[in-house]
Amino acid sequence: MPGPLTGIRVVDFSRVLAGPHCAQTLQDLGAEVIKVEPPSGDMSRKALPSDGEISGYYAQQNAGKRNLSIDLNVPGAQEPVLRLCDTADVIVENFRPGTLESFGIGYEAVAARNPGVVYASISGYGQHGSWRARAAYAPTVQAETGITAITAAQFNTADGRMRSDSLSHADVYSGLHAAIAVLAALHHRDRTGEGQYIDVAMAAVMLAINERVHADLSEIGLGAEPPILGATDCAFFTGPGGETFVSPMSLVSTMSFTFYMAAMHRPDLVDDPRFCTAQDRKQNLAALHAVVQEWILTFDDMASLDAQFDEAKIPTGRVRTTENLVAGEWAEQWMATRVVPDRSGGEITLPGFPWHFSSKTTEVEAEERDTSQAPVDWRIPAFQGEHNEDVLRELGYPDDEITALRRSGALVRPGLENYADVSTEGA
Phi, psi for residue 237 in degrees, rounded to 5: -135, 165
Is 171 assigned a catalytic role?
A: yes
* SS3 readout for the chain: CCCCCCCCEEEECCCCCHHHHHHHHHHHCCCEEEEEECCCCCHHHHCCCCCCCCCHHHHHHHCCCEEEEECCCCCCCHHHHHHHHHCCCEEEECCCCCHHHHCCCCHHHHHHHCCCCEEEEEECCCCCCCCCCCCCCHHHHHHHCCHHHHHHHHHCCCCCCCCCCCCCHHHHHHHHHHHHHHHHHHHHHHHHCCCEEEEEEHHHHHHHCCCCHHHHCCCCCCCCCCCCCCCCCCEEEECCCCCEEEECCCCCCHHHHHHHHHHHCCHHHHHCCCCCCHHHHHHCHHHHHHHHHHHHCCCCCHHHHHHHHHHCCCCCEECCCHHHHHCCHHHHHHCCEEEEECCCCCEEEEECCCCCCCCCCCCCCHHHHCHHHCCHHHHCCCCCCCCHHHHHHHCCCCHHHHHHHHHCCCECCCCCCCCCCCCHHHC
Active-site residue, selected from the candidate residues 89, 171, 233, 342 = 171
CA–CA separation, 346 and 327 (whole Å)? 20
- Long-range CB pairs of 205-212 (<8 Å, 24+ gap) are 205/170, 205/173, 205/174, 205/177, 206/141, 206/142, 206/145, 206/146, 206/147, 206/169, 206/170, 206/173, 207/145, 208/177, 209/169, 209/173, 209/177, 210/145, 210/146, 210/147, 210/150, 212/150
Question: Active-site positions?
Answer: 171
